[in-house]
Amino acid sequence: MDLNIKGRTALITGGSKGLGFASAEAMAREGVKLALAARTEETLRKAAESIGAIPIVSDLSDRAGVLACIDKTRDVIGDPDILVINTGGPQPATFAESTPDGWRTATDQLFHFTIEMITAFLEPMKQKGWGRIVVITSFAAKEPVPNLLYSNALRAGIHGLVNSIASEVAADGVTINAVMPGFIKTDRMTSMGLDLDRVAKTIPAKRLGQPSELGDLVAFLCSERATYINGQAIACDGGLLQGI
């Protein structure tokens, strides 16, 4: 299927590996001109080179780094037609373990970062009459995961943000959606110390997802084929979320 986005420009944050890189690979196959942002220079440059993307080495953990990333993006590809926001999860915690500093850090990492990126690039999309924004969240936004308090709370809030923005820009040719990966086989998943065989048995598909499966969904939502999909939170989880 031709997604009809050849020649479009895109910025993908957290694009050097995992779900961000899988999304980049899917769009590279469609002829999108890509800029990938991530912190670790060697990993990022190798990833970008492998798919013909432009690396933007940025520390996105603080506002200064975010603003620098925005400026660099405009330098190399202009205001992007497509924005894919992908961030690592905050530190694990229960409510009893949470702290004011922990909440502030997690809010900056997830919520404020997302707002900053959308604020930078939404208006140019509206002026062009075309734009796609996809925020990669987590199934934890709909079904809280034990010990991931910060992520559970803040990613659900991001869904509210997506819904609100979508209603304001739908008539301007811009769509904004969230995708909720379930248990996808990434470095982060393996680093969490879970018994992955046991996890797989809890999923109706009886296996973990592959990053490419999520990447293909992101590319579709960023395409001309998805012009009437807006303000949605779409799961890619092998059937894990049911009736939610």
Task: Please tell me the predicted confidence (pLDDT) of residue 228.
Answer: 97
Rg of the Cα atoms in the chain: 17
In the chain, which residues have pLDDT < 70?
A: 191-193, 243-244
Task: Please tell me the predicted confidence (pLDDT) of residue 138.
Answer: 93
DSSP per-residue string spanning the chain: ---S-TT-EEEEETTTSHHHHHHHHHHHTTT-EEEEEES-HHHHHHHHHHHTPEEEE--TTSHHHHHHHHHHHHHHH-S-SEEEEE-PPPPPB-TTT--HHHHHHHHIIIIIHHHHHHHHHHHHHHHHT-EEEEEE--GGGTSPPTTBHHHHHHHHHHHHHHHHHHHHHGGGTEEEEEEEE-SB-SHHHHHTT--HHHHHHTSTTSSPBPHHHHHHHHHHHTSGGGTT--S-EEEESTT-S---
Q: Is 194 contained in some domain?
A: yes
CB 175 within 8 A of CB 226: yes
pLDDT digits (tens, 9 = 90+) for 16-39: 999 999 999 999 999 999 999 999
Where in the sequence is the domain holding 14, given as residue range(s)?
A: 9-236
Q: Is 118 contained in some domain?
A: yes
Q: Is 1 contained in some domain?
A: no
pLDDT digits (tens, 9 = 90+) for 38-62: 999 999 999 999 999 999 999 998 8
CB 87 within 8 A of CB 113: yes
Q: Is 241 contained in some domain?
A: no
Task: Please tell me the predicted confidence (pLDDT) of residue 244.
Answer: 58
Domain total in the chain: 1
What CATH code is carried by the domain that includes residue 230?
Answer: 3.40.50.720
Task: Please tell me the predicted confidence (pLDDT) of residue 199.
Answer: 86
Q: Is 145 contained in some domain?
A: yes
Q: Is 4 contained in some domain?
A: no
Q: Is 30 contained in some domain?
A: yes
Task: Please tell me the predicted confidence (pLDDT) of residue 191.
Answer: 67
Q: Is 207 contained in some domain?
A: yes
Task: Please tell me the predicted confidence (pLDDT) of residue 9.
Answer: 98
Sheet order of strands, 233-236 included: 54-57, 33-38, 9-13, 82-86, 131-136, 174-181, 233-236
